[in-house]
Amino acid sequence: MPINYYIFLSLALFCIGVAGVLTRRNAIIIFMCVELMLNAVNLLLVAFSKMHLHALGTGNPQAGIDGQLFVFFIMVVAAAEVSVGLAIIVMMYRNTHSIDVNFLNRLKH
């Protein structure tokens, strides 16, 4: 399969994520969208790593390994982020009875 398909797919996913972050006010949905963006990047990394493997041939044991390694890192970080982020959202809900991010503009004043 040509690499282009992967790129377009991940681009679409990423843009959906960005649009979501920009337009939605619900903290959890924003959170999901951030995950979506991270996964778009993951998809791209895997795709490129596969492409490199093909290009360099199987003789090279190191080929394409970096990209896949990064994906694991991102997944770990994302998991950590989710745990912290969700905790924040829970705390936020407790304080304000709302998960609307526009409500949190007190730093401005």
Tell me the closest approach of the beta carbon of residue 50 to another protein, in angstroms: 25
Q: Does 21 bind another protein (CB under 8 A)?
A: yes
Degrees, nearest 5: CA angle 72-53-61: 80
Tell me the closest approach of the beta carbon of residue 18 to another protein, in angstroms: 6
The residue from 1, 22, 61, 94 that contacts another protein (CB under 8 A) is 22
CB 27 within 8 A of CB 99: yes
Q: Does 89 bind another protein (CB under 8 A)?
A: no
User: Rounded to whole angstroms, how far apart are CA atoms 67 and 92?
Assistant: 36
Cβ neighbours around 12 below 10 Å, total = 11
**Where on the chain is the footprint of another protein (CB under 8 A)?**
18, 21-23, 25, 101-102, 104-109
